[in-house]
């Protein structure tokens, strides 16, 4: 039996794989693993299917002059890619090369990819984590001094009052939902403009207007202050900027907040009661907050509430951002993209020195600036400035906001490399170079889940002839590029892990005490875990000592006057298109969903959209009838109508699992995090 990590959602459950003759005979959720404790969702149970449902040849392919994809040897491909990348760098500079990576790869692979692409080629690498977690990263960093989700998953079982804000764990984090169910004495409050599956099960569901959360939380802060239901001691001892915050929120009277959110005064008072009377109040948010033209300040409006009521650093509390992909946290700390390996800024001399020493390189061999964000990469391709793009383990032709802009970008590239398990994704089929790799079942690496827990991915099956892992491909290209002794310390994933440990030394995410062996067949280990530390429990939360990572060791209230919605509804576009997940068995762009064969028959193959029957009837649209949705971004898509009372008469909800959805989303981003505003697009509809 081999215990390994489910590399799908951010819980990163562990599973026990039983194998005979290089075939998986049984997959069982690991009982000893503190995240899933012997349970899993259907996606984990079906992990054994990876790369069996649709097979891709293990040899790399190059598009020839007739547009056909022809196979090459791996060595031939490495040489070809090295020559092309060096030519483009020579002609246009390192800034003309970019990569898009993912929160779905082990941290060792991300680290090596960026070593090759950024430290050596001097290019840009951003991740699909930008579409997902970037808002939380910036929010925590500004408020706490480091990107540090403070909780352990156990906190959701220990909380007496749980706020879920823009999060739908019944669908998106089933094991987390299981743990909420285990908590019998809680009050569950869901804030979501639509009646999601989770809202359906809550004690209180507040259907606020899309993107009005910041008004709600400023209003609640104001009411809590007026009621004197705040923790003055905590504020005084452990925070900064409270007086300024208090001054700002006094303008958010109940009248203003009711108008902005669509809630009643009663609703607000009830929420204030719930927060004031709770002993251990926890606030959990996901994409309903992060994906917005104003995500960072909205996330911080939640963080502020937790700080001012002293709901942090104790059991069952916290302002807790739930991540999405299996290794979003690894990507946040160890990808050398927006921050240095192990955290810290590129212009911080002492951090640079520490990272250079750890990697045994000189300062000029370490990239000198953060990457361009995803949106800027796509814009610069379209402007003709970026000439080469390497996409790894993500499907941006489908998942990128306003996805026709990605299609346009592809046409402008001189070199377009796609590295994926499958050659038939919406992105792979456009590639000039396709690099096939093996799934997580055949590779080694480390994942960091939503509660900062490191866990091991270990090969369950042996690779077959010509099969490569992502790590081997990056190493092969790096060697062909002539990186020479810059790769001496990077021969294996374990070597890369040792380097990352050294980079993390004395940082909040210090993992110097973790070894590969200590992660194998064990409960995993949360960061921080410094060399010499003794593990007393499987679950640890941050800030129990009230020491934050800012220079003053205090947390900061961060806020500003809410921005105007850059894309309000209008006469021409009167309805709001909301987007997100739909069922447990549907995963993002549905590439991996087809591996989940047990769920496949439970959802339609073609795009559909939830519409309130009253709105549908206004346009004479029957249930299941195809109709057209026009977006303010200038594009239109067709969907089958799915009648549902879960959306109000002025909303529609489109699952992200169909490419038609992101045809309609706009190129609008949060100013700090550059995360796309995926969830509130003004649209109009018509019968066909």
Ligand X SMILES: Nc1nc2c(c(=O)[nH]1)N[C@H]1C(S)=C(S)[C@@H](COP(=O)(O)OP(=O)(O)OC[C@H]3O[C@@H](n4cnc5c(=O)[nH]c(N)nc54)[C@H](O)[C@@H]3O)O[C@H]1N2
Q: Which residues bind ligand X (CB under 6 A)?
A: 9, 102, 104-105, 128, 131-132, 165-168, 171-173, 191-194, 196, 210-211, 213, 286-288, 291, 324-325, 392-396, 398-399, 419-422, 425, 437, 439-440, 470, 578-581, 584, 586-589, 591-592, 656, 661-662, 665, 678-679
Rounded to a whole number of angstroms, the minimum distance from the CB of residue 47 to ligand SF4 is 8
Q: Does 419 participate in binding ligand SF4 (rule CB under 6 A)?
A: no
Q: 322-351: which residues touch Mo ion (CB under 5 A)? A: 324
Q: How far apart are CA 297 and CA 135, in angstroms?
A: 9
Cβ neighbour number for residue 70 with a 10 Å cutoff: 11
The residue among 613, 637, 629 whose CA lies nearest residue 575 is: 629
Residue 36 touches which of Mo ion, ligand SF4, ligand X, none (Cβ within 5-8 Å per kind): ligand SF4
Q: Are 183 and 21 in contact (CB under 8 A)?
A: no
Rounded to a whole number of angstroms, the minimum distance from the CB of residue 236 to ligand X is 31
Q: Does 142 participate in binding ligand SF4 (rule CB under 6 A)?
A: no
Which member of 4, 16, 24, 43 binds ligand SF4 (CB under 6 A)? Answer: 43
Stretch of residues binding Mo ion (CB under 5 A), selected from 104-112, 132-140, 158-166, 639-647: 132-140
Rounded to a whole number of angstroms, the minimum distance from the CB of residue 317 to Mo ion is 25
Residue 430 touches which of Mo ion, ligand X, ligand SF4, none (Cβ within 5-8 Å per kind): none
Q: Which residue is nearest to ligand X (CB)?
A: 324
Residue 402 touches which of Mo ion, ligand X, ligand SF4, none (Cβ within 5-8 Å per kind): none
Q: Does 166 participate in binding ligand SF4 (rule CB under 6 A)?
A: no
Q: Are 528 and 140 in contact (CB under 8 A)?
A: no
Q: Does 656 participate in binding ligand SF4 (rule CB under 6 A)?
A: no
Rounded to a whole number of angstroms, the minimum distance from the CB of residue 481 to ligand X is 19
Q: Is the peptide bond before 488 cis (omega within 30 degrees of 0)?
A: no
Mind giving me the DSSP string for 470-524? HHHHHHHHHHHTT-GGGGGGGSSHHHHHHHHHHHHTTSTT--TT--HHHHTTS--
> Which CB sits closer to ligand X, 430 or 470?
470
Rounded to a whole number of angstroms, the minimum distance from the CB of residue 197 to ligand X is 8
Helix (H) or strand (E) holding 98: strand 97-101
Reduced to 3 states, what is the DSSP secondary structure of residue 616? helix
Which member of 11, 24, 117, 433 binds ligand SF4 (CB under 6 A)? Answer: 11
Residues binding ligand SF4: number (CB under 6 A): 13
Stretch of residues binding ligand SF4 (CB under 6 A), selected from 4-12, 57-65, 289-297, 419-427: 4-12
Q: Does 132 participate in binding Mo ion (rule CB under 5 A)?
A: yes
Rounded to a whole number of angstroms, the minimum distance from the CB of residue 49 to ligand SF4 is 13
> Which CB sits closer to ligand SF4, 13 or 500?
13
Rounded to a whole number of angstroms, the minimum distance from the CB of residue 103 to ligand SF4 is 13
> Which CB sits closer to ligand X, 467 or 510?
467
Q: How far apart are CA 606 and CA 430, in angstroms?
A: 21
Q: Which residue is nearest to ligand SF4 (CB)?
A: 44
Q: What are the CB-based long-range contacts (under 8 Å, 24+) for 57-65?
A: 57/423, 57/436, 58/436, 58/464, 58/465, 58/466, 58/467, 58/468, 59/436, 59/466, 60/433, 60/434, 60/435, 60/436, 61/423, 61/431, 61/433, 61/434, 61/436, 62/432, 62/433, 63/431, 63/432, 63/433
Q: Which two tokens stand for residue 349?
A: 């001399």
Report the sign of the C-alpha dihedral through residues 288, 292, 298, 300, in that order. Answer: positive
Q: How far apart are CA 133 and CA 125, in angstroms?
A: 16
Pairing status of strand 555-556 against strand 239-240: parallel
Which residues make Cβ contacts (< 8 Å) with residue 536, sequence separation at least 6? Answer: none
Q: How far apart are CA 543 and CA 555, in angstroms?
A: 10
> Which CB sits closer to ligand X, 96 or 212?
212
Q: Which two tokens stand for residue 547?
A: 């020491």
Q: Does 179 participate in binding ligand SF4 (rule CB under 6 A)?
A: no
Beta-bridged to residue 640, according to DSSP, are 608, 626
Helix (H) or strand (E) holding 171: helix 169-172
Rounded to a whole number of angstroms, the minimum distance from the CB of residue 535 to Mo ion is 30
Q: Does 456 participate in binding ligand SF4 (rule CB under 6 A)?
A: no
**Which residue ranges make up the site for Mo ion (CB under 5 A)?**
132, 324
**Which residue ranges make up the site for ligand SF4 (CB under 6 A)?**
6, 8-9, 11-13, 36, 40-41, 43-44, 174-175
């Amino acid at each position: 039996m081999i215990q390994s990590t489910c590399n799908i959602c951010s819980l990163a459950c562990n599973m026990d794989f039983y194998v005979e003759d290089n075939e998986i005979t049984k997959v069982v959720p690991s009982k000893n693993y503190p995240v899933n404790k012997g349970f899993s969702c259907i996606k984990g149970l079906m992990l054994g299917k990876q790369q069996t449902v649709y097979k891709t040849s293990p040899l790399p392919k190059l598009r020839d002059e007739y547009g056909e994809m022809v196979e090459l040897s791996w060595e031939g491909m490495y040489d070809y890619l090295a020559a092309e990348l060096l030519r483009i760098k020579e002609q246009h500079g390192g800034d003309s090369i970019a990569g898009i990576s993912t929160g779905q790869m082990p941290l060792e692979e991300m680290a090596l990819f960026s070593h090759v692409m950024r430290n050596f080629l001097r290019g840009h690498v951003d991740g699909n984590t930008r579409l997902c977690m970037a808002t939380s990263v910036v929010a925590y960093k500004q408020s706490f001094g480091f990107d540090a989700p403070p909780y352990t998953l156990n906190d959701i079982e220990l909380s007496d009052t749980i706020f879920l804000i823009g999060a739908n764990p019944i669908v998106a984090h089933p094991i987390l939902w299981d743990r909420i169910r285990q908590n019998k004495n809680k009050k569950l409050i869901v804030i979501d403009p639509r009646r999601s599956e989770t809202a359906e099960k809550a004690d209180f569901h507040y259907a606020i207007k899309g993107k009005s959360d910041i008004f709600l939380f400023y209003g609640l802060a104001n009411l809590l202050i007026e009621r004197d239901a705040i923790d003055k001691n905590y504020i005084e001892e452990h925070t900064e900027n409270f007086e300024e915050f208090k001054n700002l929120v006094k303008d958010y009277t109940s009248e203003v907040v009711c108008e902005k959110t669509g809630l009643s005064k009663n609703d607000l008072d009830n929420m204030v009661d719930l927060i004031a009377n709770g002993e251990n109040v926890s606030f959990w948010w996901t994409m309903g907050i992060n994906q917005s033209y104003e995500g960072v300040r909205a996330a911080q409006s939640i963080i502020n509430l937790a700080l001012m009521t002293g709901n942090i650093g104790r059991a069952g509390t916290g302002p807790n951002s739930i991540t999405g992909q299996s290794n979003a946290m690894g990507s946040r700390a160890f990808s050398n993209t927006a921050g240095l390996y192990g955290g810290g800024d590129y212009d911080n001399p002492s951090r640079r020195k520490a990272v250079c020493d750890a990697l045994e390189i000189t300062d000029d061999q370490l990239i000198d600036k953060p990457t361009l964000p995803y949106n800027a990469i796509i814009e610069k391709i379209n402007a003709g400035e970026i000439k080469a793009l390497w996409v790894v383990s993500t499907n941006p032709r489908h998942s990128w906001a306003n996805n026709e802009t990605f299609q346009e970008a592809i046409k402008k590239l001189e070199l377009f490399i796609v590295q994926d398990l499958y050659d038939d994704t919406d992105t792979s089929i456009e590639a000039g170079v396709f690099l096939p790799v093996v799934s997580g079942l055949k590779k080694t690496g480390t994942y960091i889940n939503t509660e900062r827990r490191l866990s091991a991915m270990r090969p369950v099956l042996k690779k077959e002839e010509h099969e490569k892992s992502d790590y081997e491909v990056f190493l092969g290209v790096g060697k062909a590029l002539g990186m020479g002794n810059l790769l001496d310390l990077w021969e294996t994933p374990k070597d890369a892990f040792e380097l990352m440990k050294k980079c993390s030394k004395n940082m909040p995410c210090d993992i110097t005490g973790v070894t590969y062996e200590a992660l194998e067949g064990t409960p995993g280990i949360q960061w921080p875990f410094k060399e010499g530390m003794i593990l007393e429990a499987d679950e640890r939360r941050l800030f129990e000592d009230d020491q934050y990572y800012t220079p003053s060791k205090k947390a900061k209230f961060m806020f500003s006057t809410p921005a105007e919605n850059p894309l309000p509804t209008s006469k021409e576009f009167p309805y709001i298109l909301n987007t997100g997940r739909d069922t447990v068995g549907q995963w993002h762009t549905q590439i991996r969903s087809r591996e989940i064969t047990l769920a496949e028959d439970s959802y339609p193959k073609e795009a559909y959209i939830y519409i309130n029957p009253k709105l549908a009837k206004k346009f004479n649209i029957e249930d299941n009838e195809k109709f057209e949705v026009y977006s303010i971004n200038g594009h239109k898509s067709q969907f089958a109508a799915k009648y549902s009372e879960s959306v109000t008469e002025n909303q529609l909800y489109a699952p992200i699992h169909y490419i038609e959805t992101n045809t309609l989303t706009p190129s609008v981003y949060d100013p700090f995090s550059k995360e796309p505003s995926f969830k509130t697009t003004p649209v109009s509809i018509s019968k066909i």
